[in-house]
Amino acid sequence: MLQDFFEHAINKVYQNYRAMIFLAHSPLSIASSYIKFGGWEMSYNWKGRTRTTKEVVGSIEIITKTIHFNYKYALWLMKVDTGKEYDLFHFVRTLAHEIAHCLLLDYNSKYLNQHTESHRKLTDQLELYLWTLPEIKELTNLQLDVN
């Protein structure tokens, strides 16, 4: 259930922003129509990661983007103290950061691991947008519920 929740939130933001960006920029080069939520992974040096895979069927390339989050965010969701670096504020920032990678990848594959000024500006915009969503409000409510 929570897997579907995160995949829904990721794709809602991705699709809405992709529609806006597409009107202002050149045609898409490696767009995917859906982003997978890859779950939680252990890492000591990243909070989120976007991975791409490419499948070729005949002459058609199918690009898949998968977003993973550091497992400490899962612990935070379970109300385990993970410190200030893995709270709701940082989760929303990480979510915006990874979706920005996915959006920029639609236009050029060089953006996979690039942290350019365009990426930073897009991350900032996405973060503001995410705070307006009912999905983020629901995560806030889940954290406020007392067991």
Strands of 46-124, DSSP E: 48-57, 60-70
Q: How far is CA 71 from the centre of its chain?
A: 15
Per residue in 70-126, pLDDT tens?
999 999 988 898 888 999 999 999 999 999 999 888 877 666 677 889 899 999 999
Contacts of 46 (CB under 8 A, 6+ apart): 70
Per residue in 42-69, pLDDT tens?
998 899 999 988 888 888 777 889 999 9
Residues 106, 17: Cα–Cα separation, whole Å: 12
In which order are the strands placed within the sheet that holds 60-70?
Answer: 35-41, 60-70, 48-57
